[in-house]
Amino acid sequence: MFYVSGINTAPPEAGPGVVNEAHQLEIRDRIVKTIYREAEAIAARVVRQTGPHRDWEHKVDDILTSRLLGFPIMFLLLGLAFWITLVGANYPSQLLAKALFWGEERLSEVFVRLDAPPWLHGLVVTGVYRTAAWVVSVMLPPMAIFFSIFALLEDLGYLPRVAFNIDPLFKMAGTQGKQALTMSMGFGCNAAGVMACRIIESPRERLIAILTNNFVPCNGRFPTLIALTSIFVGPAAAPGFSSLAASFTVVGLILAGILITLLTSWLLSRTILKGVPTTFTLELPPLRLPQVGRVLVRSVLDRTLFVLARAVTVAAPAGAVVWLLANISFEGQSLLARGAGLLEPFGRALGLDGFILLAFILGLPANEIVLPILLMGYLSAGTMVEVDSLNVLQNILVHGHGWTWLTALCTMLFSLLHFPCGTTLFTIQRETKSIRWAVWAAVIPLAVAGLVCFAVAQTVRSLGLV
């Protein structure tokens, strides 16, 4: 089976050059369709199939790509992939965290035996090592599971059907359906999603996909989203439905991220990245059973470990910086607390506070460390800390620092939409070979996050809802 993206038409206000380009693309579109139609007619006349017919594949394709069932099946499979990832990653993450933090204790014993100064122990062990351990324990299991599921769906032949279904939406946004595949990869890791943009041939549309990939939450942001929805949404639901309510809230945030992706793509395609959407011919590969062993090995080696290595490389030095800010004092106040005080007015305007805003800034190297940095600031601790239960976290946020449902909502929105992590920005610079586009990739999401949070916070306060 094949699919040729819909005929392009230039907008009414387009200039002569754009109209001419649109006309050329329309001619090319018709030529390709005619060639495929003629090829199918010739094949039908001269090819005789002696083996079993594969009519079932066409019937399955009719279901997977239908207007009625295509999107529900797609969202169901995506939700199933998330559920398997979140549930399946819990136990491995706990085991990995125990092993790595057991290593921290052994490393501390080495520093004690060497009679190392406390500042060196704090900088290296509770700064660099603890940050790297957190990133590995949080990122590795879910990333390995999600990328493996994604690779299996790719080998099965389902992902081109996803591009077929979503292409009309992205076409309206000025891009094409292949961006849906790169967006889906971003759920595992935005850096991997950026690398996946190589499949888009048009440089303009590839840049749009790169600049908007961050609007879908990666696995580094899911722990924060899940924790906050469990604390603020779950208890408000009927007894027995708290987990379901929290899960639907996270899904709602994901759908909001997809909507922002489409809107931002539409805006970019009409401003700094103007152009006519390209026509692409998508040949739907036959559905087949995936080669599980080969696919899993390729997924772990080519994607998971590669992205993880970049994340640790960026996050480990950041741990040292955060430790220094928390342990260097000026006039009786740590640099971390002073920085939060300076950001307090901006944070309040966005429905946050200074410590939340500073945690996101210092969490630039890796989204996994945003919540630990926030708790370190709230508890005036010298190292990044993690609480034992959601009840303890709720007491710290609500009773200790006056969080409301608005604070939680704005924090989740800012987490969903804010600038990419350092690993993703580094990957964008490598893929585009331009620091300028890496800067744009940070500025655009930050502006979107700021505007959305400001609008939500000011609207809610003006209506007297908090």
Q: Model confidence over 209-226: pLDDT tens digits?
A: 999 999 988 877 887 888
Q: Model confidence over 394-424: pLDDT tens digits?
A: 888 998 899 999 999 999 999 999 999 988 9
In the prediction, which pLDDT does 365 show? 86
In the prediction, which pLDDT does 411 show? 96
Q: Is the pLDDT of residue 40 over 70?
A: yes
Q: Is the pLDDT of residue 124 over 80?
A: yes
| CB 172, CB 183: distance < 8 Å | no
Considering only residues 2 and 387, tell me which one the structure prediction assigns the higher pLDDT.
Answer: 387
In the prediction, which pLDDT does 380 show? 78
Taking the C-alpha atoms of residue 44 and residue 40, their distance in angstroms, rounded to an integer, is: 6
pLDDT band with cut points at 50, 70 and 90 for residue 281:
low
Taking the C-alpha atoms of residue 144 and residue 189, their distance in angstroms, rounded to an integer, is: 10
In the prediction, which pLDDT does 303 show? 67
- DSSP character string of 277-308: PPP-EEE-PPP----HHHHHHHIIIIIIHHHH
| CB 184, CB 162: distance < 8 Å | yes
Q: Model confidence over 245-262: pLDDT tens digits?
A: 777 888 889 889 989 999
In the prediction, which pLDDT does 106 show? 92
pLDDT band with cut points at 50, 70 and 90 for residue 20:
low
pLDDT band with cut points at 50, 70 and 90 for residue 392:
confident
Decide the pairing of beta strands 281-283 and 2-4: antiparallel
CA distance between the termini of the chain:
55
Tell me the two tokens of residue 10: 């230039």
pLDDT band with cut points at 50, 70 and 90 for residue 451:
very high
In the prediction, which pLDDT does 11 show? 42
Q: Is the pLDDT of residue 9 over 50?
A: no
In the prediction, which pLDDT does 429 show? 95
Q: Is the pLDDT of residue 279 over 70?
A: no
For the CA atoms of 225, 231, 232, 237, what is the dihedral angle to 10 degrees? 110
In the prediction, which pLDDT does 108 show? 92
pLDDT band with cut points at 50, 70 and 90 for residue 55:
low
In the prediction, which pLDDT does 420 show? 94
Fill in the amino acid letter for 335.
L
In the prediction, which pLDDT does 6 show? 46
Residue 340: how many other CB atoms lie within 10 Å? 22
Of all helices (H) and strands (E), which one includes residue 334? strand 333-334
Tell me the two tokens of residue 418: 């804010």
- Domain coordinates in residue numbering, the chain: 6-63, 70-462
Tell me the two tokens of residue 446: 């930050």
Residue range 197-206: average pLDDT?
A: 89
Residue range 299-317: average pLDDT?
A: 74
pLDDT band with cut points at 50, 70 and 90 for residue 80:
confident
Taking the C-alpha atoms of residue 336 and residue 333, their distance in angstroms, rounded to an integer, is: 8
Residue range 141-156: average pLDDT?
A: 82
Q: Is the pLDDT of residue 35 over 90?
A: no
Percent of the chain surpassing pLDDT 90: 29
Helices (H), 69-116: 70-113
In the prediction, which pLDDT does 184 show? 79
In the prediction, which pLDDT does 360 show? 95
Residue range 299-312: average pLDDT?
A: 73
Considering only residues 67 and 267, tell me which one the structure prediction assigns the higher pLDDT.
Answer: 267
Taking the C-alpha atoms of residue 336 and residue 95, their distance in angstroms, rounded to an integer, is: 31
Specify the 3-state DSSP secondary structure of 458: helix
Q: Is the pLDDT of residue 22 over 90?
A: no
Q: Is the pLDDT of residue 431 over 80?
A: yes
Of 63-67, 97-101, 275-279, which range is least confident?
275-279
DSSP state of 261: H
Residue range 311-316: average pLDDT?
A: 77
Residue 231: how many other CB atoms lie within 10 Å? 19
Q: Is the pLDDT of residue 61 over 90?
A: no
DSSP state of 421: P
In the prediction, which pLDDT does 96 show? 85
- DSSP character string of 347-387: HHHTTS-HHHHHHHHHTTT-GGGHHHHHHHHHTT-SS----
Q: Is the pLDDT of residue 52 over 70?
A: no
Q: Is the pLDDT of residue 19 over 60?
A: no
User: Which residues on adjacent β-strands are paired with residue 282?
Assistant: 3
CA–centroid distance for 349 within its chain: 26
In the prediction, which pLDDT does 210 show? 95
pLDDT band with cut points at 50, 70 and 90 for residue 18:
very low
In the prediction, which pLDDT does 356 show? 95
